Amino acid sequence: MRRMQDITDTFILKRWWRLRNQTTLWGTFLKSKYCRRSHPVGKVAISKDSHGWKSLMRIKDKAEPHMIWKIQKGDSSFWWDNWSGMGALAKILPRPGKSAKLNVNSFILNGEWNINKLNNTLSPHITQYVSNVYIGDNSKSDYPVWNLTENGQFSNQSAWNLLRVKSNKNHFIRNVWHKNLAFKVSFNSWRLLRDKLPFSDTVGRFASNLRFDCSCCRIAKNETSHHAFVTSETAHRLWNNLGRPLGIQHSDAPVSFIFRKWWEAKSENKVHKMILQITPTIICWEIWKQSSGCRYGTQKKFNFTRKEQQCLWSLKHAINSLALCLDMDRQWPQLCQMIELLRPSPVITRVLWQKPCQGNIKVNTDGSYNPSNGKAGIGGIVRDSNGNLIMAFSIAVQCNSNNTVEALLLSSVGNGVHCKDTLISQLNLTLK
């Protein structure tokens, strides 16, 4: 789920990138209106500015540190463009006279930095840092690169990752999502656990004296989310009829506690674990469907038998998706007993190293990648057609994707194997 504010800020940042990087009619208009005598980075929004310009001023401080200008002929702003990688020098050195018209080429002499002029303008430690900045082709204009992507081009994905407000992962609510459940079924439980379903207690926060009469009990009661999913007559019967064969007793507790009770129950096997995970979600979905049918549709009262059969059908459909040879015509208690007794059957497969053709050599390689920190490792072993070891290698690398790891493997084999010059046509490479 993405916040609309984060998406909006992403597109505002994209507009700032285009304003700074491209020559467009829209950008020319904005610069003529707001930046006649100053640089866009140095501008400050005032009350009479347009909403669009204010949004650009709000987002620029997050975008500018990641826009690095590559020096070519030096037509970047010396004070306001981030060409040094340190940010705008105007914000680092508090001194007057930081003209937006002063370009970097004023400090370049014969394709090299004019150290004397830099020393007269900047602090010694900044001059030392700036003197190491590479100067490219002086026949081309300076250009910016976006340092959050591999190719230096701006992308909405990288901008969104920069701007979005990250919250701690809720591993508890993540259990409502399962590949054997339809999205709407899981989404309903996600809303329930966050108090987002329209019942008297949730909608009542915005409107006083609001009451929904419960249609799942013989005696009408105020239909709160806790009553509909936990304490109502039909909910109580449904939880018990599906939970007791699995060893789970229903109790009058918050719905989040009931979900946790099911999800933390000890499982005997993979199928049993899946049943414990998806059953609470399916039960809540069926209760919500019939509650909505009675409140907004033509249904007059809850049909408990139909609701229970629908839950059982959904559970058996999920079990069937695992391609198990179980008798689905059995009653639910007998089926639960069979599921708990299931044990995995070990499959033993012989893995043999196959020799290459006579006169060839074979390279077996493998790699690993940790996406959390970008650390990776690559390695391989080289053997001849008789299985004799020629060489082996292992290298620790830093990557940004598993595809990069595979590419480095190929590069390492091409550059590191001793047969590079003479036997490369006879190389048999196996990637694992």
Instruction: Take residue 209 and report the two structure tokens written for it.
Output: 């004296």
In a domain, 286, yes or no: yes
Cα 377 versus chain centre, distance: 24
121 with 186, same domain?
Answer: no
Nearest to 275 by CA among 178, 344, 174, 190: 178
223 with 156, same domain?
Answer: no
**Tokens 């949004």 sit on residue:** 55
Nearest to 79 by CA among 114, 49, 50, 38: 38
pLDDT in tens, 382-406: 888 888 888 888 888 777 777 777 7
Tell me the CATH number at 400.
Answer: 3.30.420.10
pLDDT in tens, 88-146: 888 888 766 678 788 999 999 888 999 999 988 888 888 888 888 999 888 899 999 99
* Separation of alpha carbons 298 and 300, rounded Å: 6
137 with 284, same domain?
Answer: no
Q: Above 80 in pLDDT, residue 237?
A: yes
pLDDT in tens, 305-333: 888 899 999 999 988 888 677 788 889 99
> Rg for the chain (alpha carbons), in Å?
33
pLDDT at residue number 364: 83
303 with 383, same domain?
Answer: no
302 with 422, same domain?
Answer: no
Helix 304-320 to helix 233-243 angle, to the nearest 10 degrees?
30
> 43 CB contacts (<8 Å, ≥6 apart)?
34, 35, 57
Overall domain count for the chain: 3
131 with 218, same domain?
Answer: no
In a domain, 226, yes or no: yes
316 with 369, same domain?
Answer: no
32 with 125, same domain?
Answer: yes
The mean per-residue pLDDT over the stretch 16-34 comes to 93
408 with 378, same domain?
Answer: yes
In a domain, 353, yes or no: no
Question: Which residues are registered as beta bridge partners of 381?
Answer: 364, 392
19 with 64, same domain?
Answer: yes
pTM exceeds 0.85 for this model: no
DSSP 213: B
180 with 309, same domain?
Answer: yes
Q: Above 70 in pLDDT, residue 421?
A: no
In a domain, 391, yes or no: yes
- The better pLDDT of the pair 17, 346 is held by 17
pLDDT at residue number 413: 62
Of all residues in the chain, the percent with pLDDT exceeding 70 is 91
In a domain, 314, yes or no: yes
pLDDT band, very low/low/confident/very high, at 418 (cuts 50, 70, 90):
very low
Decide if 412 contacts 379 (C-beta within 8 A). Answer: no
pLDDT in tens, 332-343: 999 999 888 888
326 with 421, same domain?
Answer: no
Q: Above 70 in pLDDT, residue 424?
A: no
In a domain, 281, yes or no: yes
Decide if 77 contacts 102 (C-beta within 8 A). Answer: yes
In a domain, 352, yes or no: no
Nearest to 276 by CA among 300, 247, 308, 303: 247
In a domain, 356, yes or no: no
If one counts every other C-beta atom within 10 angstroms of the C-beta of residue 345, the result is 5
pLDDT at residue number 320: 86
* Separation of alpha carbons 139 and 38, rounded Å: 26
Range of the structural domain that residue 201 is part of: 173-340
